[in-house]
Structure 1
């Protein structure tokens, strides 16, 4: 493997979805890649793809919940490519269902992956950044770190915590102007992630309409490596949702709840599953999940969400008025 002037690009969760797309994007730039995921076979597929695309890559099967394993990954990346220039925290998981109906072990696994895994990555990468005096840490967080996510409470808690961690860490690194901490907030992405999620609802899951292509998120990560910024939201729906929640949080939260419950009420039944929380998913893996469809199904879903939002907007003010009248009468 060559010594790279810019050091290694380390990407966690590189076997599918956003991580795999991001690895491919960096490979097209000829980057030196140290990739990790729990599943060895799918990880090696990504490594071979990246080499074909012009990158220098190797893979290390790693569970990011294990801090020693993450440190070992960092050490191998630095020794192989002469340092670490970019670290992308991306490996993630989630549990979908009413909070009290999801096993506590599933909540713990979600937080350990989505929060502790990111802390482990940053802790492993920073000594190499500080030694070089430069580096870019990119945290792929999710729109769930900006907007409350019903039926995925522990996921939203972990993602929101990562945002706070990134903001706090950025302050501590203020004396090192060439070390950057960046956050990416994608809207729902067309990846296999929805198939991989632990599902305790008893209903088949699918993402919200207007999913973002994983290549769009990968391009955002690549852009941050070139020109670091504090944070970026990927997808127009994510940007609109963030703005709407800032303006009218109760209305947006009610619309999300009603829309989610309306979808689950009519969705097909599905077996309860732990997904990939405790073990890697079986092969094969892929970048996309096949969710970028058009036509009546998307239109129906959009109309359903719009109707839920309309009902929320109509119902909540009446609820407030009723509550105010009750307090006045009391």
Structure 2
């Protein structure tokens, strides 16, 4: 039986992979992201897979955007069964050396906008008594890493929000709130991050594919769980962070500089924190090696 699925952040990375995965199942899709041209490309991909698709250009961080998206989904398909929120941005830099407005926008996009999405989705679900909200967290919602303070703070906040919503929905057995928390993922978010560190970021190995995370999201929609971790060493990192905090803190800085950053210099810039970029892709090229990642960065 097909469902109506809203996907925010649908033009690249995990969001685009998730749109393809639901389209392959024949679900009805409402796709939202900032870049209208790239959104049209994703819509065409999903239509070719046989799905019914509505594309709604949306900056989910703007006030009222989630409610407008909920109305568009209801007008198109009569309601929403699943809402998947994948939209996120990233910024690299020491906390005291990156612009305040960039830090604030990372938190606004990754946490405040996610809360607005959850509010709109849960109002719909509470009215009908059924629905599943899937939020995309991160292993960095359980551990910390230097030079990514805004992203870390927002993902810790998102995990707390998800847990609180799960508690509040206990009186609604048909309404589920799920959190999918990947580790390193092969997406363009690292190249497109704001950067005030002087070196382009990269996902530390081992790196999962965006399609693997998308499959976890689809499974969460089918069989909801409180939280699903995607990544071979997530449990090990969480163990070290919790049980051996002194050792973790001594190692995480050197490891971040060695495997979490490339050797490519970059001038300070805002990335896509405030504005979208054309040409979204599922992969950032990281699983194909560093040279592949450099080509992907130039092309994206």
Instruction: Report the TM-score, using the length of structure 1 for normalisation.
Output: 0.84
**Residues 9-43 of structure 1: CA deviation (Å, up to 9, x unaligned):** 11111000000000000000001110100000011
Q: Is 1:220 the counterpart of 2:233 in the alignment?
A: no
Seen in structure 2, the aligned counterparts of structure 1 residues 225 and 251 have a Cα distance that, compared at 3 Å, is same
1:248 is displaced (CA, Å) by 1.4
Gaps of 5+ in 1: 298-330
8 Å contact kept, 1:6–1:84: no
Q: Work out whether 1:53 is the aligned partner of 2:65.
A: no
Alpha-carbon distance between aligned partners in 2 of 1:273 and 1:295, rounded to the nearest angstrom? 22
Aligned to 2:155: 159
From 16, 19, 29, the equivalent of 1:23 is 19
Alignment of 1:51-200 (within 5 A): 51-200=47-196
Measured on the aligned residues, the alpha-carbon RMSD in Å equals 1.9
Whole-angstrom distance in 2 between the partners of 1:242 and 1:215: 23
Q: Which residue of 30, 33, 58 maps to 1:37?
A: 33
Match of 2:287 in 1: 292
**Equivalent residues, number:** 292
Higher mean alpha-carbon deviation, 149-158 vs 213-222, is at 149-158
Q: Structure 2: how far apart are the matches of 1:227 and 1:42?
A: 31
The structure with more radius of gyration: 1
Name 1:238's counterpart in structure 2: 234
Taking the aligned partners of 1:83 and 1:275, their CA distance within structure 2 comes to 35
Structure 1 or 2: more helix by fraction = 1
Alpha-carbon distance, 1:108 to partner: 0.7
SS in 1 for 2:190: helix
Which aligned segments of 4 or more residues in structure 1 are displaced greater than 4 angstroms? 262-266, 294-297
With normalisation by structure 2, the TM-score equals 0.93
String of CA shifts for 1:263-298, please: whole Å, max 9, x gaps: 5898232121210001001x211100110036999x
CA displacement 1:90-116 (0-9 Å, x = unmatched): 100011110011100000100110001
Structure 1 position 7, deviation (Å) = 4.5
| Distance change in 2, residues 1:42/1:228 (3 Å) | same
The whole-number CA distance in structure 2 between the counterparts of 1:269 and 1:144 is: 25
Q: Is the 8 A contact 1:25 1:222 kept in 2?
A: yes
**CA distance in 2: counterparts of 1:15 and 1:293, whole angstroms:** 21
